[in-house]
Structure 1
Amino acid sequence: MLAVIVGLLCLLGGRAVRSQDATGSRFVCNAIPPGAEPGCGYGPTGNRVQSSSPVEDELRNTIIQLRETILQQKETIVSQQGTIKELNSKLARCEAAADESSQGKARGHGSRRKEYGKNTMGDLPRDPSDTIDQLGKTMQSLKGRLENLEVRCRTSFSALTPLPPELRDLLRQRLGALETQLLRKVAELEEEKSQLYNETAAHRQRTESALNSLLERITELEKSNNAFKSPEDFKVSLPLRTNYLYGRIKKSLPEMYAFTVCMWLKSSASPGIGTPFSYGVPGQANEIVLIEWGNNPIELLVNDKVAQLPLSVSDGRWHHICITWTTRDGFWEAYQDGERLGTGDNLAPWHPIKPGGVIILGQEQDIVGGRFDATQAFVGELSQFNMWDRVLRPVDIMGLANCSAYMPGNVVPWIDANVEVFGGASKAALEICEDRAFDS
């Protein structure tokens, strides 16, 4: 630009010389100092030229305009240089981040940092026209790099590659905040869980306490009504020969065509143990009776028909006795302590046992449920009185006698709630097998 201005000045000066030569005058061109006024010429003697022509005024105005234009272009160039440097810096960072996410190789990263970290503009030339050309080339280069960066960013995002550092830092901050909120929520839930657990534990403790109190109360009530370990572990004691001590089975019998009756008994009475049990029905007080009266042997009565049994139980010890009977031919069997000691037949053959009667322990009935005779009363203790509506096998009877089997009667089971006592008779706890072992 300066060369253009100098050339223009020389051209104008040449024209002025030629015009002066034509009129007989001459002009001398001297170098103008940078701070001097363009219109004030200096002669060889250093004296200032006082007069000026229109040509000089025109030249002076042109030079002033050119100087202003040069200053404006200089300011524009400086501003553009700063903008380009800032763009270079940002592009270098973005390209480095894109290269890290797409390639992930250290050597590639280093080479690109060297490539993009340099100044794209380079060293600006001294000539203003060359500077403008260089600025244009630099802008084109920046535009190309921006387009290339956009393509690589789209490729990186489509491949789900890692984000640039700025976005990665922002994402890390957001994730940290979410993690903090999540931990706080988890802590609140843990606290609520602990409170709920404490409330549940307290409620469970109160419930268990109430259940324990209820269980203790039930146990006390059971003890007041039943002092036995199990419903069948008891005995009925009939200590005197009277007509008012007896026990009664609450349950009656159905119609039966066979039966088995078993019991444990203990007696030392003489003469005869009396009547361990009797079953009477309307119209027949001696439907089933087991009796030892006076010096007679133990007898079994069915429908008031009699069979003598070869049993002996008046030694004051516990004995297990079983009697079986079937209506077919009136066949019967007698067992003592598990052994069959006698059999017979023709005892009320083809007679069914009538239902709806009364079972009395310790007394013989002259009418259903009453009119007892003291001379026929049983003196001793009874336990485990059970009846079945069939004939038990010998092995079953042996199991009952040696305490190796427990088989309650299917018609009359021996349980505390099923037995009533009257007239001073009593019920007491008894584990028959232990007591029998102690007796033996």
Structure 2
Amino acid sequence: MIHQPTILVTNVPIAFFSPMAESLLFSYGESILGRLANAAIEEASLALGVHSELQQMKETMTLIRSVLLDAQQKTPHSSALIEWLRQVNCVFCDAEDIIDDFERESLQKNVVNTSGSFSSKVRRFFSSSNPVVYRLRMTHRIQDINTRLAKFAADRNMFALQIIDHDTCVVHVREMTHSYVNPSNVIGREHDKNEIVNLLVEDGDRESLSVIPIVGIEGLGKTTLAKLIFNDSNINAFFLLKVWVCVSDDFELKNVLVKILNSIPNPTRENFNDFEIEQLQNHLRNTLKGKKFLIVLDDVWNEEYEKWDELKEIIDVGVQGSKILVTTRSHAVAAMMCTKSSNSYLLECLSEENSLSLFVKYAFEDGEEKNHPELLEIGKEIVEKCARLPLALKTVGSSLFSRVDKKEWESIRDNEIWCSK
């Protein structure tokens, strides 16, 4: 279940600097692939008779996503590759439109009955529209996207882009995180923080341990939000023990157990890296037993339920009200980790007002924007192109810090590699 019913639709911009661009585009592709794996989408495509086309879309997108981080090393020297990335981003946007369409139908119909003939299933699922017309329209749209994706996949050979597997990509995308944050540097997340803090300090009446995932693409500030929550005074008063663990792609049970134990005060200074897994689980269970704890698992990618279930079984020894807060880019991970009495929290982009405030904070000295009204007006247009993503706003703003040449600002604003749908 999703805490906020709004469906996240993000038109991720290709920024003028390649390292962030490919990271964002990679995460955008990851987000779309996660949504394509949703049961409602699978069921809708089966009912409509376009399941094979949708599977083809998924496979080609997976291939393209796998070369994006290799493109990171090559884009500064290739305007043709920059244009290729811009077009990939635009087709990703169109693919997400199709997913949104399916999800809207699914929400309207609530559920599809999988029994009966194909024609009856189509009528039940798409009763609000002409099923034949709807099927033809969606088939053409999917085929168009598949044609474009196939061309992009073939064009990658022109740029000698190498396929990097998912795990390798993750290592390059994300560095290890820590729990500290200066609240004065965070803008526009007070409401989100308060909402999640309220969820965390509720004592569940059915489970001793519940899990709340924060879900959203890279660049939205999931980790920053988790840090605000982790250091909130209400959290400090409610939980006897707090643990911060950056998981990333490393979800092997032994490694995660070591990370959790290393994040807990260790008076005896034991080296948990030398422990066998039996010793680790015994030590951790004894440490957590009888305590109300909060464990933050930051940046979880692994979608193997067995691994998650094994970890949860080990740490489910606290008192009622113990919580796990997860940050993830994957809706599949969020659905897998949610417990019966908990919901996912879908993190959305910043408001227009907060987006501008964040950009100004990083682009100008405090109060200096008042002395440069022309730059501020250009900045407002740049903010709009950053799609209200905190990472993009901070990175672009920082790149303009102390620069007062109007032409430089205009050059960034007018750069052709901003994607326009």
Whether TM exceeds 0.5 here: the answer is: no
CA radius of gyration, larger in: 1
Instruction: Answer 1 or 2: which has greater helix percent.
Output: 2
* TM score, norm. by length of structure 1: 0.20
* TM score, norm. by length of structure 2: 0.20
Instruction: Answer 1 or 2: which has greater strand percent.
Output: 1
Q: Which has the higher contact order (CA 8 A, sep 6+)?
A: 2
